[in-house]
């Protein structure tokens, strides 16, 4: 069958179903053709309404003082970046304070600094493996007004010092998180790896789901007793909430479904079913921008595993009315890979990944970060490894926040995935209170700004593009405003803008600054319900109705 015959057949099929069709057609030399799916007036096939906020972060426990600062020196750069996202999506991101190092941190009441850590290269060169925290650690919770936090307690250490740390830090944490700062408590990080992590596993090989549930409930009840003594006002039905089980994945040494079956939520205090996800590994052979990150098929495969688990748990009644979230996620585990996780291609991946999650009823994502981590959205302080600054993935966070914007707290925002013919294309429709409001398009055809072998700068005239055509509901609008996510190429790590805004540290400490060399105020005309937009390779855009 010819391409034109196939297109006609597809259009007739859609018309028979009463649907509108969206296609992409080439208009100029250097343009490609792509076919997008249907854009409806109502959110057919949409995910459940996203939680507010949707765009959120997970901060490595040992890095939290770097990201937040303390009372004498708050990190205003982090505050500005979080405020930007709050302005865009309507609510400031929630910060989950946890990760591997929450299960390594032991309390030292005599420690004069917030944290004292020793890096053990055999465990990781990216974070300390021997950690003490002092009373001033909890000052960091007071430095980011308007932000809510999840605090992670150490579960990995099940000896005397671990229990002493739990007993001592509950009062400190609850006092620091009073006044509406607390989102959720968390006990343990990735316990499904406790008996398999090398070189120092923290549970025996015969440790089971039932054993985990017993330990988790014991600690939860210790926390409850400590709160009753120190912060009884935080034991209300609305205030005493947990995220769990915080598993690293779906195929490790503990089974999520069996964990719920064994009574994880026996006390009815788990509010969010939190799982973790990474699209791949930094050290895995064959990981590339083209095939791993800038690839909708790979993203879909990774997320769909969580969708399947969510449906099984819900169908079995194990997590009834408990939203499924990704409490820790990012591009490549082991803190990301230079040239991939810190590139503009990773920002485009972040847009596709997060919007696909939203379209599949994964209700919130916490993008993980740590000091010197390659996939971080920003570097909070200057170190001997990394310069303080806004990183490429942050701009992807910004586009997602803009796509999910709500005007009031009562608004419901839903996302529909618009299937594409090419795995390097992704498109989504956003609906507010059931009304089509925005369309996002991401072009993930790789265009490198520099030659990988010689380092020579590519000619921008060589950058091809794709023209996308959408048929939108009649009477929606006469023209749509366009906001673009742009950089010089998929391998760019600087010079990135969203709708002409830069959020660079060196310009105004992360506050938005308009760039004079970027076109803004673009409009595309709707003709008989049809609207077209052309995207250069490796770029994204939102059309606002």
Residues belonging to the active site: 209, 328
Contacts of 5 (CB under 8 A, 6+ apart): none
Strands 425-432 vs 435-443: parallel, antiparallel or unpaired: antiparallel
> Are 385 and 346 within 8 A, CB to CB?
no
> Are 276 and 248 within 8 A, CB to CB?
yes
The CA distance from 366 to 58, in Å, is 5
Side-chain-side CA neighbours of 118 within 13 Å: the count stands at 5
Give the CA distances from residue 515 to residues 402, 499, 535, in Å, rounded to whole numbers and listed in that order. Answer: 19, 9, 20
> Are 480 and 531 within 8 A, CB to CB?
yes
The CA distance from 376 to 390, in Å, is 9
The CA distance from 166 to 187, in Å, is 10
Residue 44, SS3 per DSSP:
coil
Tokens standing for residue 258: 């069996």
Please give the backbone phi and psi of residue 290, each rounded to the nearest 5 degrees, phi first: -60, -45
> Are 73 and 109 within 8 A, CB to CB?
no
* Nearest one of 354, 352, 396 to 485, comparing CA atoms: 396
Q: Per DSSP, what are the bridge partners of residue 470?
A: 531
The CA distance from 59 to 137, in Å, is 14
In 491-538 the beta strands, taken as DSSP E runs, fall at: 497-498, 501-502, 513-514, 523-525, 530-536
Does 374 sit behind a cis peptide bond, omega within 30 degrees of 0 on the bond before it? no
Give the CA distances from residue 378 to residues 229, 386, 505, in Å, rounded to whole numbers and listed in that order. Answer: 38, 10, 9
Tokens standing for residue 127: 């974070």
Tokens standing for residue 93: 């991101």
Give the CA distances from residue 438 to residues 358, 400, 419, 467, 483, in Å, rounded to whole numbers and listed in that order. Answer: 14, 11, 16, 18, 11
Handedness of CA 95, 86, 391, 291 (dihedral sign): positive
Contacts by 304-308, CB closer than 8 A, 24 or more apart? 304/360, 305/250, 306/250, 306/275, 306/277, 306/360, 306/362, 307/360, 307/361, 307/362
Give the CA distances from residue 151 to residues 64, 121, 125, 457, 544, in Å, rounded to whole numbers and listed in that order. Answer: 11, 27, 24, 45, 37
């Amino acid at each position: 069958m010819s391409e034109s015959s196939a297109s006609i057949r597809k259009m007739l099929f859609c018309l028979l179903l009463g649907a509108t069709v969206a296609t992409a057609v080439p208009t100029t030399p250097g343009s490609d053709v792509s076919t997008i799916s249907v854009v409806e007036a109502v959110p057919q096939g949409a995910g459940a309404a996203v939680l507010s906020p949707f765009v959120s972060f997970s901060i490595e426990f040992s890095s939290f003082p770097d990201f937040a600062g303390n009372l004498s020196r708050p990190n205003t750069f982090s505050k500005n970046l979080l405020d930007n996202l709050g302005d865009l999506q309507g609510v400031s991101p929630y910060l989950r304070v946890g990760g591997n190092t929450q299960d390594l941190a032991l309390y030292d009441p005599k420690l004069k600094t917030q944290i004292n850590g020793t890096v053990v290269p055999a465990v990781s060169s990216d974070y300390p493996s021997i950690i003490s925290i002092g009373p001033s650690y909890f000052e960091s919770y007071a430095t980011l007004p308007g932000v809510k936090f999840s605090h992670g307690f150490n579960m990995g250490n099940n000896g005397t010092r671990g229990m002493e740390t739990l007993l001592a830090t509950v009062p400190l944490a609850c006092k620091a998180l009073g006044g509406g700062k607390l989102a959720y408590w968390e006990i343990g990080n990735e316990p499904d790896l406790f008996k398999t992590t090398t070189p120092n596993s923290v549970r025996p090989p015969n440790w089971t789901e039932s054993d985990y549930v017993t330990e988790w409930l014991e600690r939860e009840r210790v926390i409850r007793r400590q709160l009753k003594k120190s912060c009884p006002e935080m034991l209300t039905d609305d205030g005493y909430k947990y995220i769990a089980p915080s598993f690293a994945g779906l195929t490790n040494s503990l089974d999520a479904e069996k964990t719920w079956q064994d009574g994880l939520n026996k006390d009815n205090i788990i509010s969010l079913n939190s799982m973790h996800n990474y699209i791949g590994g930094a050290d895995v052979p064959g990981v590339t921008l083209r095939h791993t990150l800038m690839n909708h098929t790979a993203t879909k495969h990774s997320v769909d595993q969580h969708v399947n688990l969510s449906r099984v748990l819900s169908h079995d009644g194990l997590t009834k009315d408990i939203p499924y979230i990704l409490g820790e996620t990012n591009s490549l585990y082991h803190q990301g890979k230079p040239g991939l996780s810190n590139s503009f291609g990773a920002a485009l991946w972040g847009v596709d990944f997060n919007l696909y999650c939203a379209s599949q009823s994964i209700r919130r994502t916490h993008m993980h970060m740590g000091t010197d981590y390659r996939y971080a959205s920003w570097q909070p302080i200057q170190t001997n490894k990394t310069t303080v600054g806004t990183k490429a993935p942050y701009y992807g966070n910004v586009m997602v926040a803009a796509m999910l914007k709500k005007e009031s707290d009562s608004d419901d925002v839903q996302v529909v995935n618009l299937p594409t013919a090419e795995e390097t294309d992704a498109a989504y429709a956003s609906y507010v209170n059931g009304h089509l409001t925005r369309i996002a398009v991401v072009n993930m055809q790789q265009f490198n700004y520099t030659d990988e072998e010689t380092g020579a700068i590519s000619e921008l005239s060589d950058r091809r593009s794709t023209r996308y055509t959408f048929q939108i509901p009649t009477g929606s609008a006469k023209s749509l405003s366009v906001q673009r996510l742009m950089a010089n190429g998929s391998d760019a790590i600087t010079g990135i803008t969203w709708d002409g805004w830069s959020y660079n540290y060196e310009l105004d400490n992360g506050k938005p600054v308009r760039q004079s060399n970027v076109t803004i105020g673009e409009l595309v005309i709707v003709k008989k319900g049809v609207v077209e937009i052309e995207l250069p390779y490796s770029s994204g855009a939102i059309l606002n109705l």
